[in-house]
A and B are shown apart, each in its own frame.
Chain A
Amino acid sequence: QQQVKQSPQSLIVQKGGISIINCAYENTAFDYFPWYQQFPGKGPALLIAIRPDVSEKKEGRFTISFNKSAKQFSLHIMDSQPGDSATYFCAASFQAGGGNKLTFGTGTQLKVEL
Chain B
Amino acid sequence: DTGVSQDPRHKITKRGQNVTFRCDPISEHNRLYWYRQTLGQGPEFLTYFQNEAQLEKSRLLSDRFSAERPKGSFSTLEIQRTEQGDSAMYLCASSFTAPSSPLHFGNGTRLTVT
Chain B residue contacts of A49, Cβ below 8 A: 100, 102
Residues of chain A with a CB closer than 8 A to B44's CB = 104
Binds A, one of B60-68, B78-86, B105-113: B105-113
| CB-based nearest B residue for A34 | B102
CA distance in complex: A60, B55 (Å): 37
Also in contact, A100 and B100, with CB within 8 A (given A42-B107, A43-B4): yes
Q: How many residues of B contact A (CB 8 A)?
A: 27
Q: C-beta contact mask, A91-102 vs B, less than 8 Å → 1, else 0?
A: 100010001111
**Chain B, 54-106, CB within 8 A of any chain A CB:** 55-56, 91, 93, 95, 97, 99-106
Is A46 interfacial (CB-CB < 8 Å)? yes
Minimum Cβ distance to chain B for residue A75 (Å):
14
| Known contacts A43-B91, A43-B107, A100 near B101 by CB under 8 Å | yes
Binding site for A on B (CB under 8 A): 4, 31, 33, 40-45, 48, 50, 55-56, 91, 93, 95, 97, 99-108
Interface on A for B, CB 8 Å cutoff? 4, 6, 32, 34, 36, 41-46, 49, 51, 89, 91, 95, 99-107
